[in-house]
């Protein structure tokens, strides 16, 4: 059941142990498949990827998100996966601000299945806005949502992503940090305070997931969750790109070396901190992928293929990014 043009609609049928439905509002030609069993966390480390593309901070902007995927050859004009064994990383923050969050979520959900079927992969990492919505902080939700299906069904918007809802179950299976070959992906960054805690990627992913439904009282008495969910945690920390006034300085080279050595990577890829375009920092060891879509007029993505890093524009054009090699 979904809310479209001020009315509730339903196009659902069951086959064996799966639920199938035809599209969301304006997308009724594509079938979506929901298994009865709850999603489980996928691996968080991968080796031997043929190519990797990363997009971040979509904020419910389905138009620009789907446009770059089509023009870059990741999906076809009907929204189906066409990228073979490639890996697509959505580096956090599909939620908030925009008015087509649901369409973005279901597109990623479906592409995961289609990519896996042909040996590719789609990785959707948790970002700070996923955390906010799941835990009931709705400050940045577009008005369409509380005034739409949430109002009609008399529930809070965050309840639509609760642990008993399919998208909620799916979100609770997602990672915070993954490594693909020598690339480390995290939405915000990895702070000195987090590194001092000695948590590896598996522990970070597990603890972030475990705390998503924790009570405020539990968070108050769990120092690790407070760190993971706070300004120095991987969903919020900006120091790999810039300083945050009155909170922390910009990361220095020693800290970046520490991060890469600990996680076994050569580059760390972050969103969360807006840049004018896909950019490399710190001699190419940090790649920033959160871009100012409103100023650019399109989304951008980072692409690693055949040993080269490219900036991919909304038109699908590729521009090699050169940077100083590590000494």
Give tens-digit pLDDT for 24-50: 665 556 777 787 788 999 999 999 999
pLDDT, residue 23, reads 65
Of 59 and 2, the structure prediction assigns the larger pLDDT to: 59
Residue with the bigger pLDDT between 301 and 20: it is 301
DSSP 30: S
- Per domain, the residue ranges of the chain are 1-37, 39-320
SS (H, E, C) 270-325: ECCCCECCCEEEHHHCEEECCECHHHHCCCCEEEEECCEEEEECCCCCEEECCCCC
Q: Is 190 left (phi over 0), alpha (psi -120 to 50) or beta?
A: beta
Distance of alpha carbon 283 from alpha carbon 236, whole angstroms: 23
CATH number of 39-320: 3.60.21.10
Residue range 234-244: average pLDDT? 97
In this predicted structure, what is the pLDDT of residue 28? 53
pLDDT reading at 109 higher than 80: yes
DSSP one-letter code for 65: H
Instruction: Kindly tell me if the per-residue pLDDT of 19 is higher than 90.
Output: no
Q: Which residues of 144-168 are buried (b: 16+ CB within 10 A; e: fewer)?
A: bbeebbbeeeeeebbebbbeeebbb
The 3-state DSSP class for residue 8 equals strand
Which pLDDT belongs to residue 325? Answer: 43
pLDDT averaged over the chain? 91
The whole model's pTM is what?
0.93
Residue 37, CA atoms < 13 Å, CB-side half-sphere: 3
- What pLDDT score was predicted for residue 9? 54
pLDDT, average across residues 280-292: 97
Mean pLDDT, rounded, for 198-224: 96
Tell me what pLDDT residue 210 has. Answer: 96
């Amino acid at each position: 059941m979904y809310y479209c043009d001020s009315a509730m609609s339903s196009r659902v049928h069951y086959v064996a142990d799966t639920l199938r439905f035809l599209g969301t509002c304006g997308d009724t030609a594509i079938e979506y498949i929901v298994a009865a069993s709850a999603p489980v966390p996928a691996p968080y480390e991968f080796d031997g990827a043929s190519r990797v593309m990363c997009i971040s901070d979509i904020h419910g902007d389905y138009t620009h998100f789907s446009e770059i995927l089509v023009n870059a050859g990741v999906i076809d004009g009907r929204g189906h996966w066409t990228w073979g064994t490639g890996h697509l990383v959505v580096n956090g923050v599909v939620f908030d601000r925009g008015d087509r969050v649901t369409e973005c979520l279901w597109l990623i959900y479906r592409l995961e299945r289609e990519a896996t079927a042909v040996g590719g992969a789609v990785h959707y990492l948790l970002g700070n806005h996923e955390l906010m919505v799941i835990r009931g902080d709705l400050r940045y939700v577009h008005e369409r949502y509380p005034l739409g299906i949430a109002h009609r069904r008399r529930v809070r918007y965050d309840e639509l992503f609760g642990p008993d809802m399919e998208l909620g179950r799916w979100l609770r299976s997602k990672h915070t940090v993954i490594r693909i070959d020598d690339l480390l992906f995290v939405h915000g960054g990895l702070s000195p305070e987090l590194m001092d805690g000695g948590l590896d990627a598996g522990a970070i992913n597990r603890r972030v997931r475990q705390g998503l439904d924790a009570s405020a009282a539990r968070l108050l008495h769990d120092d690790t969750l407070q760190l993971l969910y706070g300004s120095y945690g991987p969903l919020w920390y900006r120091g790999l790109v810039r300083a945050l006034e009155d909170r922390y300085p910009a990361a220095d080279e020693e800290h970046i070396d520490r991060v890469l050595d600990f996680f076994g990577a050569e580059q760390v890829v972050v969103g969360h901190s807006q840049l004018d375009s896909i950019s490399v920092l710190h001699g190419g060891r940090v790649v920033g992928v959160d871009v100012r879509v409103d100023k650019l007029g399109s989304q951008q993505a980072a692409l690693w293929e055949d040993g080269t890093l490219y900036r991919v524009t909304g038109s699908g054009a590729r521009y090699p990014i050169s940077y100083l090699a590590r000494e």
